[in-house]
Structure 1
Amino acid sequence: MVSALAVMKESVLQKQETEVGQLPVDWQVEHLGSLLRRPPAYGINAPAVPYDLRLPAYLRITDITEDGRFNPDGRASVAHSQAGSYSLEDGDIVLARTGASTGKSYLYRPEDGELVFAGFLIRVSPNPDKLLPQYLSYQFQTSGYWNWVRTNSMRSGQPGINGKQYASYPLPVPPTMREQEAIAEALWDADALIESLESLIAKKRAIKQGAMQELLSGQRRLPGFAADWIAGKIGDALSIQHGKSQSAVATNDGPYPILATGGQIGTASAFLWDKPSVLIGRKGTIDRPQYAEKPFWTVDTLFYSIMNGGNVAKFYYYLFCLIDWYAHNEASGVPSLNARTIERIDIKIPHPDEQKAIVTVLDDIEADLENVEAQLSKARQIKQGMMQNLLTGKVRLV
């Protein structure tokens, strides 16, 4: 995304050592407070009320996603006579000041609607003649910023950064607003690609979920299949088996994966089962089915299954993904499932040939989804590299 000319500039520009690392000689390190049009301000201390279109929305730490966006799900309102004084304006950025989310940021976007920021947030308002809000927002996503947050946030055992501390943040600043704008525009393009891929993934996940619900219930039949499905129970199609302790078989370079409720945790010198199997947690995480195609070992908190009568393990993996496993939880403390309870769950069973056909369709949908997810991962990696280069002046755009 960066031009060849910009990359060429990297080798000829002189550098300087600064408190934030190496920067071009024409860049400055400024304290954030000197680039604001007003001092950092704390949000309003007022209770949230149920969301009401007649009232402004309330922006709390929990309403900001990990990637710095406003999450409207579960939004609330605020009813206070002074709420208007705490409404965010175009260009404002809020920063979390306490708790595990200290340092999290959000750049206000007018399309998010009127937002009143809460007391655990601090507002910073860049001076538009000195600092582009979008440029600052990207600086708040860098590893350098987060290292600063970790260093400055620990006090009395509770992470936190106050307004004065945020004002002292050492910010690398290029010599012209034009360069800030060029950097922000390049990174915005990267964000636009990421957002488009995220939207596409959401659509494909919805398509996959709909296809699973229709195909795995017999609501939609594939061409060439018309035989009635047999009413039965999971135990008619497979038998649930207990895992075992891995202590006797665990090894650093074993040929077989050791599976637990959260996925692979090591390798084993021997396998417990060597045929395709659907697995489900016995204790702890009970709502994340897994599918194993090759020989494996499973620990005692993870059930595996042996298929009966030619039934297809991958079909039942997809079916298990639709079951509300917590509805079958048998413990008041740590969630737990019982093998016999699982086997007694009512299902409808198609012929194995139809199971295979359904699996083929769902596998194709899953492969398409994984391809887009891989594109998203690559796009995020590219953005991180761009930020590292552009926000430190290692690569210049103007």
Structure 2
Amino acid sequence: MSKLEELIQELCPNGVDKFELQQLFITRNGYTPSKSKSEFWENGTIPWFRMEDIRENGNILSDSLQHVNACAVKGKLFPKNSIIVATSATVGEHALITVPSLANQRFTCLMIRPEYRDMFEPKFLFYYCYKLDEYCLQNLKKSSFASVDMNKFSKFKFSVPPLEVQREIVRILDSFTLLTAELTAELTARKKQYEYYRDSLLEPPKHDTEKVFLSDIVNIKNGKDYKHLGEGKYPVYGSGGIMTYVNEYVYDKPSVLIPRKGSLNNLFYVDTPFWNVDTVFYTEINDKKIIPKYLYYLLQKEHLESLNTAGGVPSLTQTVLNKVKLIIPSLSRQQKIIECLDNFDAICSDLNIGLPAEIEARQKQYEYYRDLLLTFAETGKIIATDRQTDRQTDRQTDRQTD
């Protein structure tokens, strides 16, 4: 019997009580201080969280990418160890915030009521909110804009085991999280190592300094819509990769596909017939001057994402691409470099099958055990306060904080 099973057997053999969200938490919406008032943002020291913070830095956060000035705060800050839950736009995300803070209007902040603070380990609530994320995705309002039905949101039920049980669950889930982080760090390091050797091999000899424009060796062509085509065997490429398969192709010779919008560094080498949509260019390559596979490797080294021409969605134009300058060695040297880089690429491909596959397997295993660990036998008792009393309490809280 595991330690967790022993604790459950000892401390809650007959199950655990459930509490409605509205019973356990005071909830407040986030907000965005006026961008037109520079004093709200200059010299800001108060963390102001957005979805970008979760995407870039994870789900347990102690600082934000943007900060606001104290004069922008309405009432009180969200207290430390609050949980922000995305209830509109990108629903299905949450984060534990370990410092006093604010968040934007896409988030609802869960602040544990004072009378229940001693009942919870903050990280246990954080892990349990993965169940809340799933519940939110299943309870959206019917509209063109994704938003959670907040009446149903308030009735989500939290299982509340004893603190010792919560701490053991946190310990187990933390160990899963740490292992995944270590595997991800190793994968990142291996990819950087590969890129270093690739760039070193593509560095031209010192005596080889003659540069050509990209337009001297390729014709850049636009993609086309594919929706009028039938199903078939030819892949359709967008800037993110293969989208579907159709019964016609736009080009049947080796080509390097260059994203026009979106993930500008996501190049593709294709040596079989294909179709491409208008978010990605294809290239007709003069193979008497450059081997298509060599061009693929060479353009990876050029980091085309640095040529972005747009302030919103990253974009490239033919005009900008045509002016890219490259040093092209002899065809024989190109072939030797391709052979070396193909070997490196094979190692990287094995890596992409190995470590990422292991990370994905670990993530699925983690999600399975997380769901299992957070599922308890119930006493059949669901604790909920009178909604009228709750509304009065929350209105009093809002008056104190606004």
- C-alpha contact 2:248 2:275 (8 A) present in aligned 1: no
For 1:216, the equivalent position in structure 2 comes to 202
1:107 shift after superposition: 1.3
1:308-327 matched pairs, under 5 angstroms: 308-309=287-288, 311-321=290-300, 322-324=302-304, 327=307
> Quick one: which of 169, 174, 177 aligns to 1:188?
174
Confirm whether residue 363 of structure 1 aligns to residue 354 of structure 2: no
- C-alpha contact 1:315 1:358 (8 A) present in aligned 2: no
1:305 shift after superposition: 3.1
Letter aligned with residue 347 of structure 1: L
1:116 shift after superposition: 1.9
Cα gap change, 1:190/1:246 in structure 2, threshold over 3 Å: closer, same or farther?
same
1:348 shift after superposition: 0.6
> Quick one: which of 346, 360, 383 aligns to 2:366?
383
Alpha-carbon separation, structure 1, partners of 2:294 and 2:347: 14
For 1:147, the equivalent position in structure 2 comes to 135
Letter aligned with residue 28 of structure 1: D
Q: Secondary structure at the match of 1:141?
A: helix
Deviations for 1:270-315, whole angstroms, at most 9, x for unmatched residues? 655555421124x555825533344122236342333513733333
Q: Secondary structure at the match of 2:61?
A: coil
Alpha-carbon separation, structure 1, partners of 2:137 and 2:200: 48
TM-score w.r.t. the length of structure 2 is 0.68
Alpha-carbon separation, structure 2, partners of 1:247 and 1:104: 33
For 1:122, the equivalent position in structure 2 comes to 109
Cα gap change, 1:101/1:359 in structure 2, threshold over 3 Å: closer, same or farther?
same
Cα gap change, 1:133/1:165 in structure 2, threshold over 3 Å: closer, same or farther?
farther
For 2:399, the equivalent position in structure 1 comes to none
Cα gap change, 1:296/1:172 in structure 2, threshold over 3 Å: closer, same or farther?
farther
1:346-361 matched pairs, under 5 angstroms: 346-350=325-329, 351-357=333-339, 359-360=341-342
- C-alpha contact 1:251 1:267 (8 A) present in aligned 2: yes
Letter aligned with residue 251 of structure 1: E
1:68 shift after superposition: 2.2
Letter aligned with residue 390 of structure 1: L
Alpha-carbon separation, structure 1, partners of 2:370 and 2:359: 17
For 2:21, the equivalent position in structure 1 comes to 32
For 2:155, the equivalent position in structure 1 comes to 168
Alpha-carbon separation, structure 1, partners of 2:96 and 2:210: 56
- C-alpha contact 1:139 1:145 (8 A) present in aligned 2: no
TM-score w.r.t. the length of structure 1 is 0.69
Letter aligned with residue 177 of structure 2: D
Letter aligned with residue 185 of structure 1: R
Deviations for 1:148-182, whole angstroms, at most 9, x for unmatched residues? 455266699672566x87553212334x3332222
For 2:355, the equivalent position in structure 1 comes to 372
Q: Between Structure 1 and Structure 2, how many residues are aligned?
A: 354
1:96 shift after superposition: 4.1
Q: Secondary structure at the match of 1:171?
A: strand
Cα gap change, 1:365/1:343 in structure 2, threshold over 3 Å: closer, same or farther?
farther
1:49 shift after superposition: 1.9
1:1-398 matched pairs, under 5 angstroms: 26-35=15-24, 39-41=26-28, 46=33, 48-50=40-42, 55-60=45-50, 62-65=52-55, 68-70=59-61, 72=63, 74-80=65-71, 85-86=76-77, 88-89=79-80, 91-96=81-86, 99-101=88-90, 104-109=93-98, 114-118=99-103, 120=105, 121-125=108-112, 127-142=116-131, 145-148=133-136, 150-151=138-139, 159=147, 167-174=154-161, 176-218=162-204, 228=208, 230-240=210-220, 250-252=230-232, 254=233, 256-269=234-247, 273-281=251-259, 284-285=261-262, 287-299=264-276, 301=278, 302-309=281-288, 311-321=290-300, 322-324=302-304, 327=307, 337-338=317-318, 342-350=321-329, 351-357=333-339, 359-360=341-342, 362-363=344-345, 366-367=348-349, 370=352, 371-393=354-376
- C-alpha contact 1:279 1:304 (8 A) present in aligned 2: yes
1:347 shift after superposition: 0.7
CA RMSD of aligned residues (A): 4.5
1:269 shift after superposition: 4.6
Cα gap change, 1:234/1:196 in structure 2, threshold over 3 Å: closer, same or farther?
same
1:85 shift after superposition: 4.3
Q: Secondary structure at the match of 2:372?
A: helix
Letter aligned with residue 263 of structure 1: G
For 2:396, the equivalent position in structure 1 comes to none
- C-alpha contact 1:183 1:390 (8 A) present in aligned 2: yes
Q: Secondary structure at the match of 1:375?
A: helix
Q: Secondary structure at the match of 1:168?
A: coil
- C-alpha contact 1:130 1:177 (8 A) present in aligned 2: yes
Q: Secondary structure at the match of 1:280?
A: strand
Cα gap change, 1:383/1:50 in structure 2, threshold over 3 Å: closer, same or farther?
farther
- C-alpha contact 2:4 2:168 (8 A) present in aligned 1: no
Cα gap change, 1:119/1:266 in structure 2, threshold over 3 Å: closer, same or farther?
closer
Unaligned ranges ≥5, structure 1: 14-23
